[in-house]
Amino acid sequence: MRRFLRAILSMLFLLAGPAIAIAQDRPFLTTSPTPEYSAWWLRTEYHPFGSDIRGIPAAKIRRGWCRVNELRRDVFPAEDATYFGDDQSPFAVDGFFDGSKTRHTALVGVYEACKGERGAFFLIVAWPEGKPPVIRHLVELPGERQFAVVSASDDGTITLQHCLECDHTSEYKWNKSRKRFVLLPQRSDE
């Protein structure tokens, strides 16, 4: 009987081993060397592997998502991370964005849906004291090569910068009357 169980276990390891190795060998991000004239963030694809963001399961963030990862400076190669300047946390910012005493985190991450689609997302999470986190806002950015960094101003405006060398931004702010975060109209350059 022992021999039989060993044989079954051996077969399971032989069959499952390569699949596990392939999953672990896939890098989190890959940057295509071409076209060279495009910025690295336009040529980078993300391959999420995590199951949650700060304790919130992928499927609770968005139904149909299986893998998620929060972007962090340390996951990028050093030569690419220099574009972030002195900002040690270009993908997350904490604040009190809705005027309450509840702390919020605005962050950028990447997802892979259970059906295989990939993209980035912008998430605002509230952290009420003594309670589970609450998703206050979610923007899905479909596409394998989506990229953004986030910052906040003193007035509570959260800026999502889609490009490191241009002015393509989206600004979000808490709207008291609508009781939610809203996308602000684009500013006209005068």
1-5, 53-57, 93-97, 165-169: range with lowest mean pLDDT = 1-5
Per-residue confidence (pLDDT) for residue 3, from 0 to 100: 54
* Whole-prediction pTM: 0.83
Q: pLDDT tens-digit profile of 7-25?
A: 443 443 433 333 333 345 7
Domain ranges of the chain: 28-183
The answer to whether residues 120 and 17 touch, using CB atoms and an 8 Å cutoff, is: no
The pLDDT value given to residue 23: 46
53 vs 190, higher pLDDT:
53
For 41, 50, 104, 106, the CA distances from 83, given in Å and listed in that order, are 10, 25, 26, 20
Each residue of 130-166: b (16+ CB within 10 Å) or e?
eeebeebbebbbeeebbbbbbebeeebebbbbbebee
- Lowest mean per-residue pLDDT among 9-23, 35-49, 57-71: 9-23
Run of H or E residues at 45: strand 44-46
The pLDDT, as a whole number, for residue 36 is 86
pLDDT reported for residue 139? 97
Residue 79 has pLDDT above 80, yes or no: yes
Query: pLDDT at position 131, please?
Result: 96
